[in-house]
Amino acid sequence: AVLADELMDRPYVGRFHYARHDRGVTPFDKGTLVRSLVSTAPATLGGVTVDHISDQDGVKYIFADNSWLLIRPSGTEPVLRVYAEAGSEAQVHALLEEGGALAERQLGALVG
């Protein structure tokens, strides 16, 4: 039990929470949205500094504390999928809320 507790306190190993929200949206150009989310990336989200961004499968913001937020358009329906993983449920929900709002603002600017 002591070793397990010690491992849980280490970055990259400790406790992480995960959640996903799907947001129905009007049809849009997926590539344009992804490029827009990358080019206008905020310096912080959910109160955490964005360390780097990957656009391999949507837009994934990786934060300085090893948490992350992924915004990706569905390949089959007009839905934005917003995923988050962080060290606490509260942080996951904050990331999902702010990330979803960011995506909807960008989408609104694109679709008018």
| CATH code, domain carrying 41 | 3.30.310.50
For tokens 């960011």, what's the residue?
A: 102
Cα dist from 23 to 5, 81, 106, whole Å: 37, 6, 14
Q: Label residue 2 by pLDDT band (50, 70, 90).
A: confident
* Domain membership flag for residue 76: yes
Please give the tally of structural domains in the chain. 1
User: Is 62 among the domain residues?
Assistant: yes
105 domain residue, yes or no: yes
Q: What is the DSSP string of 56-79?
A: TTSEEEEETTS-EEEEEE-SSSSE
Q: What is the pLDDT of residue 15?
A: 75
Crossing angle of helices 89-111 and 30-39, in 10° steps, is: 120
Could you report the per-residue pLDDT of 30-82, keeping only the tens digit for each?
Answer: 899 999 999 999 999 888 899 999 999 999 999 999 999 999 999 999 899 99
